[in-house]
Chains A and B, each alone.
Chain A
Amino acid sequence: GAVVSQHPSWVICKSGTSVKIECRSLDFQATTMFWYRQFPKQSLMLMATSNEGSKATYEQGVEKDKFLINHASLTLSTLTVTSAHPEDSSFYICSARPFSAKTFHEQYFGPGTRLTVT
């Protein structure tokens, strides 16, 4: 159990276009989902916290108008990178906290999405 999927697993887009990444909890309901970004040889950086039915909470330095997050249901959160530029090329990873989590800090990571902007 506790499987999180992401789609697509990799995507190449042209500069100036928008890209949508989906994060789904497959066998549980997730009250909270987190979006991270990881540049090569660097650690995961939290971008935003997404709660179902409410606006996402963005970390300092993350542009909310550029990285649009929608958490419309208990099993789906989407991250849209708008007007993508080469510097947005990164590995984007989501994680999900189950509604029925036994521990307060339980979360499960998706496999990640590799974004390359040309």
Chain B
Amino acid sequence: QKEVEQNSGPLSVPEGAIASLNCTYSDRGSQSFFWYRQYSGKSPELIMSIYSNGDKEDGRFTAQLNKASQYVSLLIRDSQPSDSATYLCAVNIVGTGGFKTIFGAGTRLFVKA
């Protein structure tokens, strides 16, 4: 079982719609969860971090975390063509050498104008 799983997509939504991205993780001890956006040929850009169960909103973005279900999601409201990118779910795992970040394979999102 992969440590962080995402639907690879592509997910296609019309401009102005809500895009819903999902992620599951395997390590029950994980405490920190992140969503990154990555444009083609560029490095990841942090969008949201979430540490507690429930919802966290930041502008058009809402992250949702359910630790019991080992599930984290990202909602993008009023989707724009500029939101078209690959969205990476990431989970921090603490080991003997400190924490390390494990990334999912990413979901490609296309927002159609």
Please state if A111 and B100 are interface contacts (CB–CB under 8 Å).
no
Tell me the dominant secondary structure on chain B's binding face. Answer: strand
Contacts of B13 in A (CB 8 A): none
Chain A interface SS verdict (over half): strand
Output the least CB separation between B48 and chain A (Å): 13
Contact between chains at B43 and A43 (CB < 8 Å):
no
- Rounded to whole angstroms, the CA-CA distance of A57 and B99 in the bound complex is 12
| Complexed CA–CA distance, A49 and B98 (Å) | 9
Fill in one digit per residue for A90-112: 1 if any B CB lies within 8 Å of its CB, else 0. 01010100000000110101111
Contact of A105 with B103 in the complex, beta carbons under 8 Å: no
Can you list 11 A-B contacts with CB-CB less than 8 angstroms, sorted by A residue number?
Answer: A34-B100, A42-B105, A43-B104, A45-B103, A46-B101, A49-B98, A51-B97, A93-B43, A93-B44, A110-B43, A111-B42
With A43-B105, A57-B97, A114-B41 known, 19 other A-B pairs at CB within 8 A are A34-B101, A42-B105, A43-B88, A43-B103, A49-B100, A51-B97, A93-B43, A95-B101, A104-B32, A105-B32, A105-B34, A105-B49, A105-B101, A107-B101, A109-B43, A109-B44, A109-B45, A111-B43, A112-B43
